[in-house]
């Protein structure tokens, strides 16, 4: 079946969550949002492209930081309302310069930082 981004299920703002996973390590790096055009651009260019809700603009991941995500595979979930992109991540995925955005773990009721920023 031919894939058409318009057949995905978007929220009221026209967005769908996209989970980025490191293709090599399996680490979950981040979650951000795409609209239909961002999905199309991601597939066309091979560069993962989100929709920035704060800037209200396309966000080619790494365009300014250099921390690009090269698309390896794009998967759709059973409800067609969530995407999983596996990527080759250059540098840290998180704007805090940690490898993953999920660097805070709840341990015995307390928040523990389990990952330090990457140093150059």
Enter the tokens of residue 112.
């523990």
Q: What span, in angstroms and rounded, lies between the C-alpha atoms of 104 and 36?
A: 31
Q: Which of 41, 59, 87, 98 binds its own copies (CB under 8 A)?
A: 98
- Binding of its own copies by 79 (CB under 8 A): yes
Q: Exposure pattern of 29-39 as b/e (b: 16+ CB <10 Å)?
A: bbebbbbbebb
Q: Give residues 57-76 in contact with its own copies (rule: CB under 8 A).
A: 73-76
Enter the tokens of residue 64.
């300014």
Binding residues for Zn(2+), by number, are: 78, 94, 101
Binding site for its own copies (CB under 8 A): 1-3, 17, 19, 21, 25-28, 30-31, 43, 73-79, 82, 84, 94-96, 98, 101-107, 109-111, 114
């Amino acid at each position: 079946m031919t894939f058409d981004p318009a057949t995905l299920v978007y929220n009221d703002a026209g967005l769908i969550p996209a989970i980025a996973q490191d293709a090599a390590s399996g680490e979950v790096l981040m979650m951000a949002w795409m609209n239909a055009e961002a999905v199309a651009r991601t597939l066309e260019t091979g560069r993962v492209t989100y929709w920035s809700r704060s800037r209200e603009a396309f966000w080619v991941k790494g365009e300014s930081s250099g921390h690009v995500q090269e698309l390896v595979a794009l998967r759709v979930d059973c409800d067609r309302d969530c995407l999983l992109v596996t990527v080759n991540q250059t540098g840290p995925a998180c704007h805090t310069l940690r490898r993953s955005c999920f660097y805070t773990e709840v341990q015995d009721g307390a928040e523990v930082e389990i990952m330090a920023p990457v140093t150059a």
